[in-house]
Amino acid sequence: MSGTVMSLLFMALVVTVSSVSSAKFEELFQPSWAMDHFVYEGELLKLKLDNYSGAGFSSKNKYMFGKVTIQIKLIEGDSAGTVTAFYMSSDGPNHNEFDYEFLGNTTGEPYSVQTNIYVNGVGNREQRLNLWFDPTTEFHSYSIFWNQRHVVFMVDETPIRVHTNMEEKGIPFPKDQAMGVYSSIWNADDWATQGGRVKTDWSHAPFVASYKGFDINACEFPATVSAADGARKCSSSAEKRFWWDKPTLSELNLHQSHQLMWVRANHMVYDYCSDTARFPTIPQECVHHRH
């Protein structure tokens, strides 16, 4: 991360009272299901998946704009059929959602990550790439940065996907619904590994994903306010300037653009924009998107 962005982050922590930042699980999150599949080891949290249950957690609050990061060490060994998900989502049928889904594989095969974006309840915007490292041997950071200009998915601060606001083209952009932050581990062997051809081998259970470094530096959205009031509260104005609205963060810098091009050229294995079988008419945002 550049010195400019680091200084902006520091300034945000000092002057932005509605921004929240922490690294402790219990301050930001709570188990949402299968509490007996949680293991706490100091600052480390582990979620277990066996043939009885997976597990999941959710943030205690909802947020509008900012950055969310979690460090994850994914399931070691034969993880075929499993999915470890990290995502942000609003509520309701017309919800917005930003997804990471880490798709397990047989031992020795690359782990892949699928990202997806829902806008007003409509998804089907999958991109999939093979990671350029083994995500099971050590922790790596996975982030979602969100402002009114774009949504950026980052792995160890390297952008892997950008979804740009193109409302001027008549394309809806997710900027008016507060989102919770979630993660879960579950069995999806009907589709997760090689299209469902490789099933989960329960003899390797329990499958364990490990977490640390929970960080939310974002605008907390009070449950008692309306969507319109909350959007105003979390948007910069003449009276207040939030770090995520700084001009330097309205688009990728040159280095980040080169990183994204490298990821797409060398590691992307699926892009819905190129899937003419699913989409004989190219989706509108794909026509205009620069990345």
pLDDT per residue as tens, the chain (291 positions): 554 444 444 444 333 334 555 568 999 999 999 999 999 998 899 999 999 999 999 999 999 999 999 999 999 988 888 999 999 999 988 999 999 999 988 877 888 999 999 999 999 999 999 999 999 999 999 999 999 999 999 999 999 999 999 999 999 999 989 999 999 999 877 766 677 677 888 899 999 999 999 999 999 987 777 777 777 788 887 678 889 899 899 899 999 999 999 999 999 999 999 999 999 999 989 987 655
The answer to whether residue 229 sits within a structural domain is yes
The answer to whether residue 139 sits within a structural domain is yes
Mark whether 101 is an active-site residue.
Answer: yes
* Domain range enclosing 230: 25-288
Closest CA to 60 of 177, 176, 180: 180
The answer to whether residue 121 sits within a structural domain is yes
Mark whether 27 is an active-site residue.
Answer: no
The answer to whether residue 240 sits within a structural domain is yes
The CATH number given to whatever domain includes residue 164 is 2.60.120.200
The answer to whether residue 227 sits within a structural domain is yes
Catalytic residue among 26, 27, 101, 157: 101
Q: How many domains does the chain have?
A: 1
Catalytic residue among 43, 76, 97, 167: 97
The answer to whether residue 131 sits within a structural domain is yes
Segment 171-176 long-range contacts (CB within 8 Å, at least 24 positions apart): 171/284, 171/285, 171/288, 172/119, 172/120, 173/119, 173/148, 174/90, 174/96, 174/98, 174/117, 174/118, 174/119, 174/120, 174/146, 175/148, 175/231, 176/227, 176/228, 176/231
The answer to whether residue 6 sits within a structural domain is no
The answer to whether residue 252 sits within a structural domain is yes
Q: Is the model's pTM score more than 0.85?
A: yes
